Structure 1
Amino acid sequence: MNMANMTFPFGTTNGVFPLFFSEEVTSPWVLATLVGGAYLLSSTLSQMLSYKYPVFGVSSQLEPIVVSNFRFFRRAEDILNEGYQACKDKIFQFRRVDTDMLVLPYKYVEDIRRLPNSVASPTIAHVHNLMGSSTNMHITLRNNLHFRTLQLKLTPNLNSLTRPMQEEVTFAVEKELVVSEGIWNQDALLTVLKSDAYALDEWVTIKPYHTILDLVARGSARIFLGKPLCRDLEWLEVSTQFTENVAEAQGYIVPDEDKHNILSWMMEIATHKEGEASALAHLEVVMSLASIHTSQMNAVHCLYDLLAYPEFLEPIREEIRAVVAEAGPWMNWTKSQFSKLRRLDSFMRESQRFNPPTLLSMHRVLLQDTTLSDGTVLRKGAHISMPVNSIQNDPEVTPEPEKFDGFRYYNLRQGDGQGHLHQFSTTQDRILNFGHGPNACPGRFFASLEIKIILVRLLMDFEFKLKHGNGRPANLRAHEFIFPNPDAEILMRRRPSSERLLLY
């Protein structure tokens, strides 16, 4: 997918910011001086360029935008952190080819959360970010059928959808697992999946990015389309190759025996105009994009992090075995059983903190002048966002943010009245990966369940290890987006039958 949420930040070649982020700088006074200096410098530059807010996006008035673009492409996280540290409780901005993006401090989260979509539109912002006219995302501007379906039908029915997802993951693992570079039915891995004797003695190389993509695509397709369409190879290609295949999806809008799926629910609650086959097909692919790739990346990051921090793996397996002892075979589990996997949930959240899908969230385009609670006026047409990664990794929000603690949130949930907080799918005013408020990601509960289903099956049935003593595969970064390495290879083999998950 062609990501267009590109930002162009303030240059760091003046010598101040590299020093600010050097490990050698430890004095609070020096840090305060540098932050203050950065703020004054960016403020001066903003005034020179007629910007209302401190700008992080150009190193000089004459710098070509292509230079700023490339700098942000390479160093987005550093640049957004510089802006956050320099303007902690103030608005700053950076230049982008298509707009000047305003970045708001978290003190405005409640203000933005309460703004109606008729005033501050998240949909227009997302369509703009994802080049809607080129990627066909503009379909979401016509109506909010997809949002209503997820909120009113999918989330309330997650318990009844748990077993179908488990069935489809089982089918994918044992029958049609896709592995490296999208090859179907790779002989070596199928041998591992079906032969205990071979699997116990031999390791095979896989690319988790592609393996998990198939598991997520198939689990999602089961819920999006139901059987038998979910196993159609052409649909699986359509749903994972979004921009090239939107038109092809129209061929899948046909009656299905299984009516307990998103397609049937959309047809049920759609208005006459919303129910046109082409529109439904288009929305199906858009939702597949949002569901498949984000869940896949989260699951891959979790697997990589478990390899990097193996001390968390056995306690997670112990928790899974405890649920088996209570609820019986895996296929008997309901959503509530997966909710009891608090250690796994905590690990997923910590992994997401270290590897967020994007450094910015809560995007809005203002459709009229807007006055915030402290009197600040944001003008019509402004594109605003929140620096979610910088906020969450502020030591005031997350103590020792540089430390990976897989059970950080598990421990927090042990406190009085904290049991339902700090979950992977929970949003808070300073935990904004899924947004916050009425426009928070409506599919986050489904994603959480799907990722758990996949990880439980993989962690209990297989062993994984890094190849040749390599470290955790490095992430790929492009502008504010972070991706797991799609070409990274690890080793995998099946666990002894006595240690695997009891399925039935």
Structure 2
Amino acid sequence: MPTLTFQNSVSTVLAICLSAYFLSILSMHFRGPKVPLFGPRNKFELRYLVNWRFFNDAASFLNAGYAKFSDRAWKFARADTDMLVLPPKYVNELRSLSTQIASPTVAHAFNLSGNHTNMNIILKNNLHFRTLQEKLTPNLAKLAQPMQDELDFAINKELPRCDGEWVAIKPYHTILRLVARISARVFLGVPMCRNEEWLEISTEFTENTFVTLVVLRLFPRFMHRIVAFLVPSAWRSRNYIRRAKKLLVPEIRRRKAAMEKDPSAKEKQSNLLSWMMEIASPQESNPYDLAHLEVVISLASIHTSQMNAVHVLYDIAERPEYVQILRDEIEEVIKEDGHFLQWDKNSFYKLKKLDSFMRESQRMNPPTLLSYHRVMQRDHVLQDGTLLPQGAHITMPVNAIQNDPKVTPNPEIFDPMRYYKLRQREGETHLHQFATTEPNILNFGHGKYACPGRFFASLEIKNILVRLIMEYDWKLPDGEGRPENLMAHEFIFPNQDGVLYMKTRPQTAEAGDGGA
């Protein structure tokens, strides 16, 4: 009898799961956008088999879809939703839509499985976006020197001593610590930025959140709550949020009391946390929410800057013939502005060849193959009659678009000076930069909802690369090529186990130590 009862229970659970599966398919079929479906090999193939192929090789999947539908809308079946993929001809039309029609924030929360990765905090308000846009970016000139000071401290703490001999490191992990320390200096200020618990929280929350969402994406939406309950990375992420609140809430209350006692104290605080407190409305000022937002913003900053810096370092090691070109450019700026440890923001802007190298590296190794995400808050008809139905998750295949030969000639060739040469053309000196967006270059989005932290990311990455290029020689292990990227769904990650060898340059070792 117990065996029979168990079998009945299992049968009931399976029946419920299968029913939910077919209901979810029917729902997406009838409510989803009426455009061609790409991906299934035949009309009987389960959407989760299509999703598995997307998980394993999203680049080939999206490139094939873009090649077939380069000028029209199409969709593919992800395990949790249908993704409505639009061509770049709609960029300018979409950028003018208000968030009440097409919401990038709802799309980001959904795309990051916000219910189960602690990311839904961004749906409460747009304080994080406003602070980055209104405070962080306008104050980058003021932040350049503190960033360099923190990088100097971080290099002494995190990099091995390698005078006169080659030492092996894993750049993924080393760069992660450098980025975490610089970001913490800007986001929290001294001394909190050097708190080891915060550095652990900001880096480990990022790692565990991406593990969680990669796993969740393998399952239909109705199973996410169950899967998240079983996945250890989801437990750890929740615990890091609790620890962050325990650590930061007392600091937030201390700063609030200081500001109330002395209003001029606001002017002395040049860090993201204090800026958020300064511009927050009463409804946005909950200390626990502010602490939570600090963790989420750190995730976005660390994830973007670390991956780009590691990719560039791998690409430099693979192409040593460009190292001297980059060093010569840095030396030219040193002659004009003094030692790079005392540079301001404008000095980094002069590094057009390094900027070009960064942008080309990002083109070949983008953080994601999809961007320009929106979730439609109501039905909207585009000028050509295309219906974007309420609830549709729209996106663009940004990597396929920017590697279209009509956009980027000879896209298969890695040309580090590609964008430097474009900026030499009349009237284009301010275009084609790492942090600038274009209708066909959408890694950071485009328009007023483009990533507000991209200028900070560019400055942070350049800070790190200038130090690593000028103070160290780099090489790949003998007989080995560039470490292969790791891919999951549309995300691309630099190889965590990749190894590079570094050695202090004798001619810069003394100058670097003296500038510390």
- The answer, yes or no, to whether TM exceeds 0.5 is yes
Partner SS, residue 474 of structure 1: coil
Shift, 1:307, TM fit? 1.3
Matched, 1:240 2:203: yes
Matched, 1:109 2:96: no
Q: How does 1:300-339 map to 2 (within 5 A)?
A: 300-339=310-349
Matched, 1:249 2:244: yes
* Structure-1 residue corresponding to 2:218: none
| Distance verdict in 2 for CA 1:421–1:62, change over 3 Å | same
Match for residue 205 of structure 1 among 168, 180, 189: 168
Contact 1:319 1:341 in 2 (8 A): yes
* Structure-2 residue corresponding to 1:427: 437
Contact 2:121 2:292 in 1 (8 A): yes
How does the TM-score come out when normalised to structure 1?
Answer: 0.85
Q: Which has the higher contact order (CA 8 A, sep 6+)?
A: 2
Partner SS, residue 172 of structure 2: helix
Matched, 1:81 2:44: no
Q: Which amino acid aligns with 1:206?
A: I
* Structure 1 unaligned residues grouped into runs of 5+: 1-45, 179-188, 193-198
| Distance verdict in 2 for CA 1:411–1:50, change over 3 Å | closer
Match for residue 177 of structure 1 among 158, 166, 176: 158
Matched, 1:357 2:357: no
Structure 1, residues 54-89: CA drift from partner, whole Å, max 9, x if none?
A: 212322222233322221111211111111111110
Shift, 1:48, TM fit? 13
RMSD: 1.9
Partner SS, residue 468 of structure 1: coil
Partner SS, residue 67 of structure 1: helix
Partner SS, residue 268 of structure 1: helix
Structure 1, residues 422-477: CA drift from partner, whole Å, max 9, x if none?
A: 00000000000000001000000000000000000011111111112200000001
Shift, 1:479, TM fit? 1.0
Partner SS, residue 282 of structure 2: coil
Shift, 1:49, TM fit? 13
Alpha-carbon distance between aligned partners in 2 of 1:488 and 1:147, rounded to the nearest angstrom:
34
Contact 1:49 1:61 in 2 (8 A): no
* Structure-2 residue corresponding to 1:222: 185
Task: Provide the identity percentage.
Answer: 57
Q: Which amino acid aligns with 1:229?
A: M
Alpha-carbon distance between aligned partners in 1 of 2:387 and 2:488, rounded to the nearest angstrom:
32
Alpha-carbon distance between aligned partners in 1 of 2:443 and 2:508, rounded to the nearest angstrom:
39
Alpha-carbon distance between aligned partners in 2 of 1:118 and 1:394, rounded to the nearest angstrom:
32
* Structure 2 unaligned residues grouped into runs of 5+: 1-27, 206-236, 256-264
Shift, 1:227, TM fit? 0.1
Shift, 1:248, TM fit? 1.2
Alpha-carbon distance between aligned partners in 2 of 1:47 and 1:366, rounded to the nearest angstrom:
17
Q: Which amino acid aligns with 1:252?
A: L
Structure 1, residues 351-384: CA drift from partner, whole Å, max 9, x if none?
A: 0000000001010000111011212121111110
Q: Which amino acid aligns with 1:136?
A: N
Alpha-carbon distance between aligned partners in 1 of 2:80 and 2:481, rounded to the nearest angstrom:
38
Q: How does 1:379-458 map to 2 (within 5 A)?
A: 379-458=389-468
Q: Which amino acid aligns with 1:90?
A: R
Q: Which amino acid aligns with 1:237?
A: E
Match for residue 100 of structure 1 among 70, 82, 103: 82
Match for residue 285 of structure 2 among 257, 275, 299: 275
Alpha-carbon distance between aligned partners in 1 of 2:118 and 2:299, rounded to the nearest angstrom:
11
Alpha-carbon distance between aligned partners in 2 of 1:51 and 1:264, rounded to the nearest angstrom:
44
Structure 1, residues 142-201: CA drift from partner, whole Å, max 9, x if none?
A: 000000000000000000100000000000101x206xxxxxxxxxx2x32xxxxxx11x
Contact 1:77 1:359 in 2 (8 A): yes
Give the number of equivalent residue pairs: 440
* Structure-2 residue corresponding to 1:123: 105
Contact 2:179 2:306 in 1 (8 A): yes
* Structure-2 residue corresponding to 1:374: 384
Matched, 1:151 2:133: yes
Alpha-carbon distance between aligned partners in 2 of 1:50 and 1:335, rounded to the nearest angstrom:
47
